[in-house]
Amino acid sequence: MRKNAFIPDRQAWLVDFWTDVQLASNKSGKTFNFGTLIADSWHQVGIERHGVTVNLVVAPTESRIQVELCIRPGQNALAIFDSLHSQKQQIERAIGAPLVWDRRTQQKSSFIRLLKTIDARGIDRQVAIDWYVSTLTKFVVVFQQHLLK
């Protein structure tokens, strides 16, 4: 059985799903700089900080969705991660949940993630979309504030 065989046209499903997330975001009054859809399972959102994006990730065969702050490798990447990690309690309090802090070295991106177990394929699709919009809003607002410190 091939990966994600449950979706006859996986790419079309992803484009449709992410389009619904963007429409819901716009309808709620939250307009973000949605970047290009990444072919596999995720979408990037700009956060007005060079080398830092917010990624929306859907793993439908694992019934998992996530929002993550991605700090791409670069001259200040580890310092940015360490600065945010030093503010961990305030960030997690503002987000309203514990986060997964994944500091990586050796020219790999570091991540700060919030995961949710949910099946975005079926009856929980709208719940997943709503979760993305509210969580994306929190991530952008909270991390923009803390990246300025």
**For residue range 1-35, what is the model confidence (pLDDT) as tens digits?**
344 445 557 777 888 888 898 899 889 887 777 77
Of 3-12, 85-94, 117-126, 127-136, the one with minimum mean pLDDT is 3-12
What are the structural domains, with CATH classification, of the chain? 10-147 (3.30.1460.10)
CA 11-13-18 angle, to 5 degrees, is 95
Q: What is the pTM assigned to this prediction?
A: 0.84
Mean pLDDT of the chain: 84
- The pLDDT value recorded for residue 6 is 54
